[in-house]
């Protein structure tokens, strides 16, 4: 395994977080940014191979706050797009960020099939 020695700061973008004060998305963002250095080491993934795919809505602003590759997909289709990204480049460490309406309402069928895969 490579010895990357990343820190959470390596995964934080320079963008101002624009979620409402008290929004739970802040806690999720901080937890993911703190976890990614360990994920990089355990999966032997360099920083430049992390990709976040999002739908639309407040939660999907997540990709702006990460210093990784990011892709906004069509409403409700983030899981389908992320599957395509992973198939196109299996070396990528692909993450999906969506909200409940995006992933479980209009994208519910894609979510179920992503779980099945």
User: In this structure, which long-range contacts are made by residues 16-20, counting pairs with CB atoms below 8 Å and at least 24 apart in sequence?
Assistant: 17/65, 18/61, 19/58, 19/61
Mean pLDDT by 10-residue block, N- to C-terminus, for the chain (117 residues)?
82 95 94 96 94 90 95 86 94 91 72 73
CB 102 within 8 A of CB 76: yes
In this prediction, residue 104 carries a pLDDT of 73
User: How many Å apart are CA 55 and CA 59, to the nearest integer?
Assistant: 8
User: How many Å apart are CA 106 and CA 56, to the nearest integer?
Assistant: 11
pTM of the model: 0.86
Name the residue among 76, 75, 96 with its Cα closest to residue 85.
96
């Amino acid at each position: 395994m490579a010895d990357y020695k990343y820190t959470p700061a390596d995964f934080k973008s320079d963008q101002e977080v624009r979620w409402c004060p008290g929004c739970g998305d802040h806690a999720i963002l901080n937890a993911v940014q703190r976890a990614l250095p360990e994920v990089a080491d355990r999966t032997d993934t360099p920083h430049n191979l992390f990709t976040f795919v999002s739908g639309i809505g407040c939660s999907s602003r997540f990709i702006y706050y990460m210093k990784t590759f990011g892709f906004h997909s069509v409403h409700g289709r983030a899981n389908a797009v992320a599957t395509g990204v992973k198939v196109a480049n299996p070396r990528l460490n692909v993450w999906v960020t969506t909200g409940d309406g995006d992933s479980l309402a209009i994208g519910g069928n894609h979510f179920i099939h992503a779980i099945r895969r």
